[in-house]
């Protein structure tokens, strides 16, 4: 089964750097046969869509509004993202939960909206270090899944992103990720009545290749920092 690789550029690049990176990806991925999704910021999304349109690369957004259209200053709708050429959208990233106060109810509404507009959501879940230390990982994940997936249709991707691993250089051990992914798959299946793909995110680099090679329950990777170089992300996509 081919894996899913998602490149999250966050707010790390200015407009011209985003376009340069998209052109680097275009060259590097011209013969790629897997599924790789680029998620630039809203500002560069339209231009990146043009640059990668003749390549096997797919386009995703880092977030979307919970509203579809109307007087919502500063928002970007899933409908407009879809019209621009995006097929995927990251929802509920821990940075949005932490810095922009996104609750499970907001995340649930965004998931619904993305599905109405035929975007494939990539729902991020994960525990904090404090929660992990007191053995709450599974309880936290169960709660996040139960609330976020309420009345959501199958056809989304879940990203397990332990908060302590994001941008910290601390990659979770592959054996541990395997077990957590098995748990997430089981919980999500109970709610959605269908199997779901679960990808891992948290400081992944090409150096993790060996440890993640033989895993069964890891359907791909969501990559931040290491995906800001086309060569590095291309190496990760060989996993």
239 binds ligand PEP (CB under 6 A): no
Question: 14 CB contacts (<8 Å, ≥6 apart)?
Answer: none
41 binds ligand PEP (CB under 6 A): no
The CB-of-88 to ligand PEP minimum distance in angstroms stands at: 13
Looking at the DSSP bridge assignments, the partners of residue 158 are: 123, 198
The CB-of-83 to ligand PEP minimum distance in angstroms stands at: 25
Residue ranges of E strands in 130-188: 157-160
Nearest to 80 by CA among 99, 96, 59, 52: 59
Whole-number Å distance between alpha carbons of 56 and 90: 19
The span of 108-116, 143-151, 160-168, 180-188 binding ligand PEP (CB under 6 A) equals: 160-168
The CB-of-134 to ligand PEP minimum distance in angstroms stands at: 23
Q: Which of 60, 126, 220, 224: binder of ligand PEP (CB under 6 A)?
A: 224
Catalytic residue of the set 161, 178, 181, 234: 161
Q: Which C-beta is closer to ligand PEP: that of 8 or that of 55?
A: 8
181 is catalytic: no
The span of 28-36, 70-78, 177-185, 195-203 binding ligand PEP (CB under 6 A) equals: 195-203
Q: Which C-beta is closer to ligand PEP: that of 44 or that of 79?
A: 44
8 binds ligand PEP (CB under 6 A): yes
In degrees, to the nearest 5, what angle opens at C-alpha 130 toward C-alphas 125 and 134? 100
The CB-of-6 to ligand PEP minimum distance in angstroms stands at: 8
Whole-number Å distance between alpha carbons of 104 and 100: 12
Looking at the DSSP bridge assignments, the partners of residue 159 are: 124, 199
Whole-number Å distance between alpha carbons of 169 and 11: 19
Length of the chain in residues, anyone? 239
161 is catalytic: yes
62 binds ligand PEP (CB under 6 A): no
Residues with a known catalytic role: 93, 161
């Amino acid at each position: 089964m081919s894996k899913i690789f998602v490149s999250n550029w966050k707010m790390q690049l200015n407009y011209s750097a985003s376009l340069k990176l998209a052109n680097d990806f275009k060259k590097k991925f011209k013969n790629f046969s897997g599924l790789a999704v680029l998620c630039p910021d809203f500002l560069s999304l339209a231009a990146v869509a043009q640059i990668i349109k003749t390549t096997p690369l797919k386009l995703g957004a880092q977030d979307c509004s919970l509203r579809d259209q109307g007087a919502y200053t500063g928002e970007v709708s899933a409908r407009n993202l879809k019209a621009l050429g995006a097929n995927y959208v990251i929802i509920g990233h821990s940075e949005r939960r932490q810095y922009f106060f996104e609750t499970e109810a907001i995340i649930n509404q965004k998931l619904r909206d993305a599905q109405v507009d035929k975007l494939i959501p990539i729902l991020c879940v994960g525990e904090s270090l404090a929660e992990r230390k007191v053995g709450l990982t599974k309880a936290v994940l169960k709660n996040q899944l139960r609330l976020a997936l309420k009345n959501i249709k199958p056809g989304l991707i879940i990203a397990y992103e332990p908060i302590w691993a994001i941008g910290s250089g601390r990659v979770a051990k592959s054996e541990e990720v395997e077990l957590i992914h098995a748990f997430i798959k089981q919980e999500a299946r109970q709610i959605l009545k269908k199997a779901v793909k679960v990808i891992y995110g948290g400081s992944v680099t090409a150096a993790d290749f060996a440890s993640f090679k033989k895993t069964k329950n890891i359907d791909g990777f969501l990559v931040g920092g290491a995906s800001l170089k086309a060569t590095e992300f291309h190496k990760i996509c060989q996993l």
